[in-house]
Amino acid sequence: MKTRKLGNFEISAVGLGCMGFSHAYGEPIAESEAIASIRSAYDMGYTFFDTAECYIGTNKDGTISYNEELVGKALKDVRHKVIIATKFGVRHQNEIIIADSRPEVIKASVDGSLKRLGTDCIDLYYQHRIDQNIEPETVAETMAELIKVGKIKSWGVSEATEEYLRRAHKICPITAIQNRYSMMARWYEKLFPTLEELGIAFVAFSPMANGLLTGKYNAQSEFNENGDYRKFMPQFSDEGINRSKELLDLLNNIALEKQATPAQISLAWMLCKRPYIIPIPGGRNSVHIRENLGSRDVILTQNEIRKIDDKLDKMNFIVFGGYKVIKE
């Protein structure tokens, strides 16, 4: 279970979500530290790295931290040995996401991402959120054009729906979806039959419910007021922590049995559930990055997974489901 298939690529079974180095988890990590952590992930065995054009933050000195630049610099000398995914089509406005997938915007975005990544081709290019103003066929046609001219190798959709997938896939085959998925957020399991039918991989973001399933947070945990989105997420509220206690106890018990950590169990649960699921947990230091990769070595049987799912079905927790997306 060390590797997974992602379209025509073979990648590490666990990818590295790089967003947190620049965006959404407080002040950006110092550039040298972030680059060192991303590079250390490659040295550990990661070969799949996820970023986006909108993952930006403001450094203490007022300069901008561009996540794509960090990824590009960290992996420059091993570029031919890794798969890099990035995304287009959204911008953040406070707690709202504005979607914009007009063809001219996509074409400008891909050129910007190529420059920031320091590469001549993007391996996997996601539509970051569905734009209700633009038909899926139009986006797929633009992706086909970018593949034809060699700017991207494959494409995907984040927070995809079945109808959107089917319509877009007919025009230009989709390699992967990237949707929110964890023990606390299972609503996209309904897509499993469609993904299996069409041969599409499921890249899972927030696979540990933004860190709650690591077991390292409680009601007293405090988050940086400067850009740490977790301070708004319901699972980290007093009520959220109380309602997740049963799940965290379950994770701790299984972790003890499997000689693993709660984080590793939460990742192994999805890795062992379907062979096409690829979690991309974040991590801002090498200790957590190494811990997450270790989930590849934890085995849960299908019977064990069914028992876990039966228990999850009876739990009543609350979890962040994403920001509101509006039309341009």
Of residues 85, 59, 62, the one with CA closest to residue 72: 85
- Write out residues in the chain with pLDDT < 50, as ranges: none
The amino acid sitting at 274 is R
Gap between the Cα atoms of 13 and 5, Å rounded: 8
Residue 232: predicted pLDDT: 72
Range list of H helices, 83-134: 103-117
pLDDT, position 81: 98
Q: What is the rounded distance in angstroms from the CA atom of residue 281 to the CA atom of residue 243? A: 23
Contacts of 94 (CB under 8 A, 6+ apart): none
Question: Please, is 140 exposed, middle or buried when counting C-beta atoms within 10 Å of its C-beta (0-12, 13-18, 19+)?
Answer: buried
Q: Give the integer Cα–Cα distance in Å for 299 and 149.
A: 42
What are the helix (H) ranges across 149-220? Answer: 162-171, 192-198
| Residue 238 pLDDT | 80
pLDDT at 229: 66
Does the annotation count 323 as an active-site position?
no
pLDDT digits (tens, 9 = 90+) for 73-82: 999 999 999 9
Parent domain of 62: 3-327
- Of 180, 195, 102, 114, nearest to 141 by C-alpha is 102
3-state secondary structure of 177: strand
CATH number of the domain that 242 lies in? 3.20.20.100
Cα-atom radius of gyration of the chain, to the nearest Å? 19
Active-site residue among 42, 55, 66, 181?
55
Question: What is the C-alpha to C-alpha distance for residues 221 and 211, in angstroms, rounded to an integer?
Answer: 12
- Sign of CA pseudo-dihedral 35, 293, 182, 276: positive
Instruction: Give me the number of domains the chain comprises.
Output: 1
Amino acid 85: pLDDT: 98
Please tell me what DSSP assigns to residue 185. B
| pLDDT given for residue 231 in this prediction | 62
| Phi then psi dihedrals of residue 289, to 5 deg | -65, -40
Q: Give the per-residue pLDDT at 284.
A: 84
What's the pLDDT score for residue 29? 86
Question: Nearest-CA neighbor of 101 among 50, 159, 173?
Answer: 159
Q: Coil, helix or strand for 89? A: coil
* CB contact at 8 A, 284 and 20: yes
Distance CA 273, CA 258 (A): 17
The predicted-structure confidence for 94-147, as pLDDT tens digits, reads as follows: 667 899 999 999 999 999 999 999 999 999 999 999 999 999 999 999 999 999
**Structure-token pair, residue 95:** 């707690």
Q: 127 in helix, strand or coil?
A: strand
At 302 the pLDDT is 97
- Which helix (H) or strand (E) covers residue 176, if one does? strand 176-180
